Amino acid sequence: MVAAPEGQSALLYIDLHLVHEVTSPQAFDGLRANRRRLRQPLRTVATVDHNIPTTPRGLPITDPIAAKQIEALQKNCREFGVPLFDMDSAEQGIVHVIGPELGITLPGMTIVCGDSHTSTHGAFGSLAFGIGTSEVEHVLATQCLPQKKPKTMQIHVTGKLADGVTSKDLALGIIGRIGTDGATGYVIEYTGEAVRGLSMEARMTLCNMSIEAGARAGLIAPDDTTFAYASGRRFAPKGKDWEASVAYWRTLATDRGATFDRVVEVDASSLAPFVTWGTNPGMVVAVNGRVPELKSFAQESDRRAAEQALAYMGLDPGTPIEAIAVDRVFIGSCTNSRIEDLRAAARVAKGQHVNPKVRAMVVPGSQAIKRAAEQEGLHRIFLDAGFEWRESGCSMCLGMNPDILQPGERCASTSNRNFEGRQGRGGRTHLVSPMMAAAAAIAGHFTDIRDWQFH
Amino acid sequence: MQPFRKHTGVVVPLDKVNVDTDQIIPKQFLKRIERTGFGEFLFYDWRFVGDGKERKKTTGDFVLDQPRYAKASILVAGKNFGCGSSREHAVWALADFGFRVVIASSFADIFANNSLKNGLLTVRLNEEQVAGIMRRAKEIENYQLTVDLENSQVDDGRGFTATFTMDEFSRHCLLNGLDDIGLTLEHEARIAAYEAEHPVRAEMKAILGGLARP
């Protein structure tokens, strides 16, 4: 904290500002219009991810407006001296994937980005949250942001996730319970043995989805798992600096006995693989369940929302989830495109074939993940099974590039939002884990991964 | 920023909960690099047929297109308005379309923040009050509200009044149309002192410095 002026919001210093092509051009224009400089180019890191094609990098960008936005970022980064992991860079990737992967994201930082899924970086015990373009400009100009103190929510997860149940399912289970506005106004801290037992990548998936419960940020206290992940990464501290950093990071955990404004208890062992049935991430049910009956909603507004959602999704109440056939499968996004996600999906796909009625796509989160997967031969497994193997980017998570659903197409997606039209106008999105998505691609419909015969 | 003191206008009811920013402004319109011109794409998928590449044709049944709401400048909607993506384009689209106020029982955090920066007032009332406004906006032709930020009050001149709360600093900035970047820069000495104590770490300096192409 830099200052806490009387009668104003506290002024937070921002350690890391991540920038991408879609929410930054107007902010750089603002700097120019007001003759302001970029205060800290080396605490600012840019990449292109949202609207770039996932076809081979040598091909031209066919969308002229997307090309113009990418050019604007290139020009702005040159003019203001911002490090840019560009289209042709070996480090390019989804902004929330490359930050952690390169050791740019570390514990105890304040991190912002003009993207709501900035909450991902909370997995390191950082305060990381999404901001709008005016705030992007504010941070570019001042490296600070005035912030009101949020309320605190503890989500305490006991027990152990069963085989086939992932941190994506944990996130969906939590949102299904507290609702998409359940954590609005709060920052979530995830605690408990089930959270401690998660890998860093699984923790990122969990924190990533905090915004889908309304929380701007969700975080997990850093521990040995965190330090082991960050150690040796390209931009992480080295030698004595590393030792000193770890010693400091160990002090960051919440005090024993601290109180929270709200506490939610979750038993991990009670969770199943989840599938969303509606048009927000809170409309979710276990894979062995059914699309809910409208009379099960107590509130009139929720019942009406469910009715509208089912009409949009083309589903009848009471339909078993496993009876829902899919046309498309998307494995990717800042939620589920990391190497562990790809390994999990490949394990399901190995020796199998994508259903002839399904088009399935795997989009690694970054160029580094793509290389790692190819080294392990995962791409072979996917290609042999009939999946497309693409270049890195946000892709079909938000359909700003050519990877979109056609009207009425139904998609099993490992992304984070099933809003109307999110993946393409009229497209119907069901959110699932990477294993569940791969299984749906092969079966042609949703299927319980806990019953899967692995080859 | 345009200051907000008091506004009187026609109310349009958007009777839906969890209106997300993907609906307010679909992604195919986020590629513009200006802040202006987003109004015509507001609620595009609900208002228009097609994906925006061809000439626009309205679906005809969306509430904003009903002639009685043509002059509306106050939007009343269900809970959790503005959830989802951080895109400020959603606020730019609402403001560019002519909205000065959105009333709901709750707003997503990022959306509410973005609104503040653009002089769009988000008024939080309880569910009962919102339902009442929604009902009257549907039943009464040309139903208007006066939203007075100085007194934190909403009044329809027909007997309905409600007070709303907002943190003092945000209210102060909105009332005066303050540039909050300017306010932050008044703390230059404090920021510089903080930076002196917390220098950029060596790895970022050495490697990212080399990557930048000035």
The 10s digit of each residue's pLDDT in A287-338 is 999 999 999 999 999 999 999 999 999 999 999 999 999 999 999 999 999 9
The token duo for A260 is: 């929270």
| Mean pLDDT score of chain A | 96
Using DSSP, state whether A222 is helix, strand or coil: coil
Chain A contact for B105, CB < 8 A? no
Min Cα separation A342/chain B (Å): 25
DSSP conformation class of A38? -
Predicted TM-score (pTM) of the model is: 0.96
pLDDT, residue B214, reads: 36
The confidence band for A58, taking pLDDT boundaries of 50, 70 and 90, is confident
pLDDT, residue B1, reads: 81
pLDDT, residue A30, reads: 95
Contact between chains at B18 and A236 (C-beta distance less than 8 A): no
> Do the beta carbons of residue A8 and residue A62 sit within 8 Å?
no
Share of chain A above pLDDT 90, in %: 95
Min Cα separation A83/chain B (Å): 4
The rounded distance, in Å, linking the Cα atoms of B100 and B120 is 5
Query: Which chain B residues in 38-97 lie under 8 Å from chain A, judged by CB atoms?
Result: 45, 51, 78-80, 83-89, 91
Give me the average pLDDT of each 10-residue run along chain B (214 residues): 94 97 95 92 91 69 93 98 97 98 98 96 98 98 97 97 94 90 94 96 75 46
Contact between chains at A280 and B190 (C-beta distance less than 8 A): no
Min Cα separation A385/chain B (Å): 32
Min Cα separation B121/chain A (Å): 16
Using DSSP, state whether A143 is helix, strand or coil: coil
Q: How far is CA A445 from CA A129, A377, B21, in A?
A: 35, 26, 30
- Preferred mutation among B25, B33, B118, B211 to probe A, highest tally of A CBs within 10 A: B33
The rounded distance, in Å, linking the Cα atoms of B104 and B115 is 13
The rounded distance, in Å, linking the Cα atoms of A417 and A280 is 7
Higher confidence at residue A58 or residue A362? Answer: A362
CB atoms inside a 10 Å sphere around CB A170: 26
